[in-house]
């Protein structure tokens, strides 16, 4: 049994799933579950997590659940998360926009107003609607 004092052995059964068949998002979500579980028991941890599209192929509700777990874990870890979903992006303390023009990539730190605009673009596409802006503001406030 896993406790604050640790354990001699942990056995994880994923039925007949082989780890090599997991996508990077699935692997990251599994890793995130282990980290969150260990933090619940030990209340300590440190390091850097780099997560590439951990919210891919998830519903908005599921993506928000992942975002909320990351907020808790961020008290112990520096987190870099690449996402195309507004739910996860809305929880970021710092929001960087990565873009490519004429074959050249650039990275820019966004202001609070730019964060809301970018979230609205993620929600509605190139034409940003008033509803998307309102929803983006609500996401930032939640």
DSSP string, 10-43: -----TT--GGGS-HHHHHHHHHHHHHHHHHHH-
3-state class (DSSP) for residue 47 = strand
What are the φ and ψ backbone dihedral angles of 99, each rounded to 5 degrees?
-140, 165
Tokens of 43: 């209340």
Report field, pTM of the whole predicted structure over 0.85: no
Q: Which residue has the higher pLDDT, 76 or 22?
A: 76
Lowest mean pLDDT among 13-22, 106-115, 121-130: 13-22
Q: Which residue has the higher pLDDT, 104 or 38?
A: 104
- Whether 88 contacts 58, CB under 8 Å: no
Mean pLDDT of 53-80: 89
Q: How far apart are CA 141 and CA 1, in angstroms?
A: 39
3-state class (DSSP) for residue 69 = helix
Q: Is the pLDDT score of 7 beyond 90?
A: no
């Amino acid at each position: 049994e896993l406790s604050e004092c640790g354990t001699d052995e942990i056995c994880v059964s994923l039925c007949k799933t082989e780890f090599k068949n997991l996508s990077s998002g699935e692997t990251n979500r599994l890793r995130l579950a282990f980290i969150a579980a260990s933090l619940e028991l030990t209340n300590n941890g440190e390091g850097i997590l780099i997560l590439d599209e951990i919210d891919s192929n998830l519903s908005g509700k599921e993506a928000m659940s992942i975002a909320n777990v990351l907020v808790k874990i961020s008290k112990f870890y520096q987190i870099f998360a690449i996402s195309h979903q507004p739910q996860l992006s809305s929880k970021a303390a710092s929001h960087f926009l990565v873009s490519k023009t004429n074959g050249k990539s650039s990275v820019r730190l966004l202001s609070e107003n730019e964060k809301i605009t970018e979230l609205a673009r993620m929600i509605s596409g190139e034409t940003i609607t008033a509803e998307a802006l309102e929803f983006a503001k609500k996401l930032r406030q939640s």
